[in-house]
Structure 1
């Protein structure tokens, strides 16, 4: 590949949310650096997501805004960024807020003036064909990181994800994680939650998985609203630690870093493991666009004509024969075998 080295190149990456998407976008700065090793790279995101970008060696500056702010405040922030004189702008989000930033930084962009610019396509037509008519025009296998890098190919950037790690928990957050874990350091992490119910492997299956590994310790991760996770801990409270709702996003990432491996639904913590370079078992159900991208991840899925059925897994389930079959048919025994394989591989 041709390596370009203009010292004057200055990139801005725009990705505001959500948790898993921001984590996956952390591969973009490193991907750019492979082609433009001397370039300066800046990133704009939501204030609550900004700490996830800390310590990334390919990111020179992070701009952040509060999601509760009015749009004019975002425009004001973008106005203050004009002095950076970006040479390349990548809108990896493609929503109204990201467009506001781009319009402010490139007021004459419609004339072809200003920074070079790429906006990641949402591919609405392909999504329409996929979800309405079951016609799949997407590149297979699905890959979240590839989809974020692929638009940058006109700038000479590879669509292949750069090697992990691309997430760097601070020493403070790792120390907090070790304090919370105690004797559960190097346990198997479980992420039983997800934004939508249809993306969740059944709770009873997580309980059975713990029973199938009587010699292992487990740590449970999730949000404060995930009260059902306590039911999973109850199956073996002496060797299961429930940290749901007790960790910030940064500390949760550090907990994954201190764990042996993770078993996760299609959710942000799965991408945390990938960007840390941690082995993972990915339980993939109804949604296509957050698929793992790294060889250290074992993808568990059931091929069904009804998959994928929705962009985010919000439903409804369209399987006429068996509700939630895409995840219900992934048995605890199947996942247990994958866990043992990852443990034995020494990854």
Structure 2
């Protein structure tokens, strides 16, 4: 859709980590489509660090929903209402002329509406948020990673070739510090630390248990990885995952638990330097794809994409899949149980072969 060129754009994607990662391709796409426009992003605290100081962002606006909710429940209703009005003023004073609500929910749509922007485009808007938009475009839940966000760029007037050229997932740049420095100092000898430059990242955890692979599969996979590659495995996750990860790593050879030990940005940097990434449908797994690290994704109750660069997607596509938040299996999760460690090892071997074939040296 061709309209007047916007001068001030707001992207709204409040959560979750994986969606922010996949939506980050909007930044280079919008910059190429509207080179004179300033771009801002409204998000929640958990994902703000991924976006701050991004070279293509004018500002990151943070809505601390959890803090507001806590204060409301504690009886500070008047204070929260004052904060709502102040936040609305902040949005209106920014003079956005195009708002892209990529979350499409009421909690995101209300801020698009409160911004006062004349053009408000909702991506698959529902929960009543569609009535707060000036336009709504359907979510293109296609096979390619970030299909829905790519579809939004096309809706704004780009063609397939433009999207292919400019849609590149990108987050905040790294710091100069070593994200593994504390880990090396506390868990490794000086000799081990000096040799610790190559590793495999495992991402077993996410917010929904029905997306988790089985522990006995992870343990067997770690044994096979050690046998084949002789590389350490680093298990990543958030603070709530730490106890589970400690129990899991204790049963793995040459594995270390970093769950809850690294910040989100540090995890992002750790992933960027990995030999491989193996993970379930969680945000840090998608970071492996963003960094073009060979990645194996394990999907069961969800399948957000089936095609991604340098990636093998393991998904059995059972008649009940994807069940998303409403499993019908009574907790057996056969869609994940039947994905075996052998299948992951084979997927990694296929990725290795593809990388070798693409290497200039493979012709000699």
Q: Distance in 2 between matches of 1:5 and 1:276?
A: 34
**How far has the Cα of 1:140 moved from its partner?**
6.5
Structure 2 counterpart of 1:34: 32
**How far has the Cα of 1:327 moved from its partner?**
0.9
Matched, 1:222 2:234: no
- Choose the corresponding residue for 2:271, options 250, 256, 271: 256
Q: Distance in 1 between matches of 2:82 and 2:202?
A: 41
**How far has the Cα of 1:5 moved from its partner?**
10
The answer on whether the counterparts of 2:307 and 2:313 sit within 8 Å (CA) in structure 1 is no
**How far has the Cα of 1:198 moved from its partner?**
1.5
TM-score, normalising length from structure 1? 0.81
Matched, 1:209 2:221: yes
Structure 2 counterpart of 1:24: 22
Structure 2: runs of 5+ lacking an equivalent: 69-79, 128-137, 185-192, 359-364
Structure 2 counterpart of 1:176: 179
**How far has the Cα of 1:334 moved from its partner?**
0.7
**How far has the Cα of 1:268 moved from its partner?**
0.9
Q: Distance in 1 between matches of 2:268 and 2:105?
A: 27
**How far has the Cα of 1:150 moved from its partner?**
1.6
Matched, 1:167 2:171: yes
Matches within 5 A, 1:1-347: 9-67=7-65, 68-69=67-68, 70=80, 72-106=82-116, 114-122=117-125, 141-143=142-144, 145-157=146-158, 160=163, 162=166, 164=168, 166-172=170-176, 175-180=178-183, 182=193, 183-213=195-225, 214=227, 215-226=230-241, 227-237=243-253, 239-288=254-303, 290-291=304-305, 294-310=308-324, 314-316=325-327, 318-319=328-329, 323-344=332-353, 345=355
Query: Secondary structure at 1:176's aligned position in 2?
Result: coil
Structure 2 counterpart of 1:111: none
Instruction: Pick closer, same or farther for the CA change 1:277–1:62 going to 2, 3 Å.
Output: same
Q: Distance in 2 between matches of 1:296 and 1:209?
A: 20
Q: Distance in 1 between matches of 2:98 and 2:139?
A: 27
Query: Secondary structure at 2:219's aligned position in 1?
Result: helix
Query: Secondary structure at 2:251's aligned position in 1?
Result: coil
Structure 2 counterpart of 1:133: none
Query: Secondary structure at 1:304's aligned position in 2?
Result: coil
The answer on whether the counterparts of 1:188 and 1:262 sit within 8 Å (CA) in structure 2 is yes
Instruction: Pick closer, same or farther for the CA change 1:242–1:191 going to 2, 3 Å.
Output: same
**How far has the Cα of 1:247 moved from its partner?**
1.1
Instruction: Pick closer, same or farther for the CA change 1:80–1:168 going to 2, 3 Å.
Output: closer
Q: Distance in 1 between matches of 2:180 and 2:4?
A: 39
Structure 1: runs of 5+ lacking an equivalent: 107-113, 125-136
Q: Distance in 1 between matches of 2:182 and 2:208?
A: 31
**How far has the Cα of 1:339 moved from its partner?**
1.8
Q: Which moved more, 1:197-206 or 1:54-63?
A: 54-63
**How far has the Cα of 1:123 moved from its partner?**
6.6
The answer on whether the counterparts of 1:55 and 1:170 sit within 8 Å (CA) in structure 2 is no
Instruction: Pick closer, same or farther for the CA change 1:220–1:104 going to 2, 3 Å.
Output: same
Q: How many residues align?
A: 318
Q: Distance in 1 between matches of 2:140 and 2:39?
A: 28
Deviations 1:3-57 (A, max 9, x none): x995x62211011111211222211122212322232111111123211103433
Deviations 1:248-269 (A, max 9, x none): 1111111111211210000111
Q: Distance in 1 between matches of 2:141 and 2:22?
A: 18
Instruction: Pick closer, same or farther for the CA change 1:277–1:25 going to 2, 3 Å.
Output: same
The answer on whether the counterparts of 1:194 and 1:267 sit within 8 Å (CA) in structure 2 is yes
TM-score, normalising length from structure 2? 0.78
RMSD over aligned Cα atoms: 2.9
Q: Distance in 1 between matches of 2:198 and 2:53?
A: 23
